[in-house]
Amino acid sequence: MINILILLSKNNFFEDNIYLCSSEPFIMPDVDFNVCSIEELKLFELSSIFSREMEEHSISEEDLIGLIKRFPKKDLTTNWINDLILKLIEQV
């Protein structure tokens, strides 16, 4: 089954963009680093897309925050960090 991923933003550029993915539906918040830190945004992102894995391995949001804080901010802005954090979750 393919679910639809919809990115929502205040910018009109994203309003009509729909992406297909194989995971659960995910709504991306409007990204404003003046409002939320990259750590908060990464927590929202990871807890949304890895909620099942977190539950299976008994990882709490506090545990995830601890993992996120181990990485420099510049790495948190990349996509590869998600794969690495997922591997760390799965090893618990």
How much of the chain exceeds pLDDT 90, in percent?
54
- pLDDT for 13: 41
- pLDDT for 74: 92
Strand order from edge to edge, sheet including 27-28: 18-21, 3-7, 27-28
Q: State residue 27 phi and psi, 5-degree precision.
A: -105, 120
Specify burial of residue 85 (Cβ count, 10 A radius: 0-12, 13-18, 19+).
buried
Half-sphere exposure of 64 (CA within 13 A, CB side): 26
- Where residue 3 falls among pLDDT bands split at 50, 70, 90? very low
The string of pLDDT tens digits covering residues 66-80 is 999 999 999 998 889
- pLDDT for 86: 95
- Where residue 33 falls among pLDDT bands split at 50, 70, 90? low
Residue 62: strand, helix, or coil: helix
